[in-house]
Amino acid sequence: MRIGLFVPCYIDAFFPQVGIATLELLERFGHEVVYPRDQTCCGQPMANSGFNTDCAATEALFVRNFSGFDYVVGPSGSCVHHVRDNFDAIEQTADVKEVRSRTYELVEFLHDVLKVDAFPWARFPHRVGLHNSCGTLRRLKHATPSELHEPFFSKPMDLLSRVDGIEFVKPARPDECCGFGGTFSVFEEVVSTKMGYDKVGDHARAGAEYIVSADSSCLMHQQGCAERIGVPLKFIHIAEILNGASA
């Protein structure tokens, strides 16, 4: 199949290794992966701040870039959530609806569409704390959130448990928000960073060496918090582990 690779703006600028891992991982399964060069952003920063009309042009550009693929796949839960659930600043033409419905976050794409059951190249002999971002957990429904009385499942855990050597730790508050929240991280920076401190502290106390997540934005925030208060944690995107990163 032909996959459009969606690399959100902050991954492009700050976490190129996540984009590379996503690209290589999808290619390992024999698919044609195309990175449309004119892509910028999905419009989420403006939309989340209430400025929906200001993202119309950006959304239109996204649709131009990603029309015609079998699937659009991006390694970022919150961006995919925006495209799929909120992306309504522009007229909802057939093209727009098509692109929106074909857009997938990497974990759910691997789990639900490709139904991958082995990553023979991957080995990660470390203790990790899994951070399900709120976008993947409560919007894209990667896993059962702790608030609901529903049978337990976790797509990222399913995938990661197929990686040789990996060991999970159990933080006390497994799915409390880490405080990133897009523009919230600067609009309410004191609360945001306090949430971040508490989050990295919780994982560290549980014995994690790494925090792994499907959202680099949460990791960027948590890493900034951990470094500021001196919590010796490392941060890694799930795409990197699944693609065989060793550390």
Partner 1 sequence: MTNSAEQLPGRAMLHPEMVAAEDNQAMYRDGHRLDHAEGASKPLRSRPEPQPRGAKIHGNRPIDQAEAAARFIASPEHEKMHDERLWDLRQKRDREMHHIPEWEQLRSLASAIKEHTLTHLDEYLDQFEAHARANGIHVHWARDAAEHNRIVHGILSDHSAKSLIKSKSMLTEECGFRHYMASVGIEVIETDLGERIQQLDKEDPSHVVVPAVHKLRTDVAKVFADTIGTDPENSDVHYLAEAQREATRPLILAADAGMTGGNFVVAETGTFVVCTNEGNADLSANVPKLHIASIGIEKIIPRLEHLAVFVRLLSRSALGSPMTQYTSHFRGPRAGGEMHVVLVDNGRSERLGLEEFWTSLKCIRCGACMNTCPVYRRSGGLSYGATYSGPIGLIIDPTFNARKYSNLPFASSLNGSCTNVCPVKINIHEQIYAWRRELVKRHDVPLVKKAAMKAAGELLSRPAAYRAAIASADVALAHLPRFVIYNGLNAWGKHREVPHPPKQTFHSWYKANRGGTQ
Which residues from 217-246 bind partner 1, rule CB under 8 A? 220-221, 223-225, 227-228
Which of 115, 147 has the CB closer to partner 1? 147
Q: Draw the binding track, 173-212, toward partner 1 (x: CB under 8 A; -: no contact).
A: x-xxx-xxxxxxxxxxxxxxxxxx-x--------------
Asked whether the beta carbons of 179 and 199 are under 8 A apart, the reply is yes
Which span (19-27, 92-100, 113-121, 203-211) binds partner 1, by CB under 8 A?
19-27
Task: Determine, following the binding rule CB under 8 A, whether residue 158 of this chain makes contact with partner 1.
Answer: no
Task: Determine, following the binding rule CB under 8 A, whether residue 49 of this chain makes contact with partner 1.
Answer: yes
**Nearest alpha-carbon partner for 201 in 168, 175, 171:** 171
Which residues from 74-133 bind partner 1, rule CB under 8 A? 86
Task: Determine, following the binding rule CB under 8 A, whether residue 3 of this chain makes contact with partner 1.
Answer: no
Which of 49, 113 has the CB closer to partner 1? 49
Asked whether the beta carbons of 7 and 19 are under 8 A apart, the reply is yes
Query: In the bound complex, what is the minimum distance in angstroms from residue 200's beta carbon to partner 1?
Result: 10
Which span (4-12, 103-111, 123-131, 154-162) binds partner 1, by CB under 8 A?
4-12
Task: Determine, following the binding rule CB under 8 A, whether residue 28 of this chain makes contact with partner 1.
Answer: no
CB under 8 Å to 131, separation ≥6 — which residues? Answer: 178, 199, 203, 211, 212, 213, 215, 218, 219, 222
Query: In the bound complex, what is the minimum distance in angstroms from residue 15's beta carbon to partner 1?
Result: 7
Which of 14, 164 has the CB closer to partner 1? 14
CB under 8 Å to 45, separation ≥6 — which residues? Answer: 182, 183
Tokens 């855990």 correspond to what residue? 157
Asked whether the beta carbons of 38 and 200 are under 8 A apart, the reply is no
- Cα–Cα distance for residue pair 21/246, rounded to 1 Å: 12
- Cα–Cα distance for residue pair 142/133, rounded to 1 Å: 9
Query: In the bound complex, what is the minimum distance in angstroms from residue 242's beta carbon to partner 1?
Result: 17
